[in-house]
Amino acid sequence: MNFEGKVALITGGTAGIGKATVRRVASLGARTVLVGRDENDGRRIESEILGEGAEAVFLRADLSRPDEVRRIVSATVNIYGRLDYAFNNAGISGQDGLIADQTEANFDEVFSVNIKGLFILHVLQRRLRGGEYTADVDVDHAIHLLQRRLLERFRNRRAGIVHKHIKSA
């Protein structure tokens, strides 16, 4: 796969899947914009990628804040003149515990990052392309598809086992 000359925006790019994606996409030649809340980790990753001869820029942003979501898309275009790919990876799980024990503030924060932030990213990315979508990938959607495939395999396997036991009874 060749990303040479393409521009990729990756949210949640300072840890986990996002960080690994930033490194991989940059190594494949993309001009990479990594976004995260942790300034120290972001600057360190940016520096490491630049040291490897690839191109990367860190933008600090909190996706629970709509103005910051809007800023990262416009900053990407201002820096590189375009946006070809978006990996909308940022997300939070909120507080652990029963739903009855959750606070409204926790709900609002999770919703702001995982739903509203993603919505604003999609709208802005689509506008950039004159109504067409960029090639975006949303981690939750990818995980959902993977889980669905795994669940189907599990169900099929379980159905075969149940059928085998009924048949042999």
Q: Which domain holds residue 16?
A: 7-141
Q: Which of 29-43, 72-86, 87-101 has the highest mean pLDDT?
A: 29-43
- What pLDDT sits at residue 36? 96
- What pLDDT sits at residue 88? 85
Q: Please give the tally of structural domains in the chain.
A: 1
On whether residue 127 sits in a domain, the answer given is yes
On whether residue 147 sits in a domain, the answer given is no
| pLDDT higher at 159 or 76 | 76
- What pLDDT sits at residue 85? 86
On whether residue 53 sits in a domain, the answer given is yes
| pLDDT higher at 43 or 63 | 43
On whether residue 11 sits in a domain, the answer given is yes
On whether residue 148 sits in a domain, the answer given is no
Average pLDDT, rounded, for the chain: 79
pLDDT tier, 90 (very low <50, low <70, confident <90, very high otherwise): confident
Among 31-40, 56-65, 108-117, the minimum mean pLDDT is found in 108-117
Residue 158 pLDDT exceeds 50: no
On whether residue 158 sits in a domain, the answer given is no
Residue 43 pLDDT exceeds 90: yes
Of the candidates 10, 115, 135, 24, the residue with the CA atom closest to the CA atom of residue 73? 10
- What pLDDT sits at residue 167? 46
| 3-state secondary structure at position 9 | strand
| pLDDT higher at 143 or 51 | 51
- What pLDDT sits at residue 93? 81
Residue 39 pLDDT exceeds 90: yes
On whether residue 52 sits in a domain, the answer given is yes
- What pLDDT sits at residue 51? 97
Six-digit token string for 78: 């201002």
On whether residue 25 sits in a domain, the answer given is yes
Residue 164 pLDDT exceeds 50: no
Share above pLDDT 70 across residues of the chain, in percent, rounded to a whole number: 74
Give the CA distances from residue 120 to residues 4, 30, 94, 95, 115, in Å, rounded to whole numbers and listed in that order: 27, 23, 20, 24, 9
Average pLDDT over residues 115-141: 65
44-67 burial: b if 16+ Cβ within 10 Å, else e: ebbeebeeeebebbbbebbbbeee
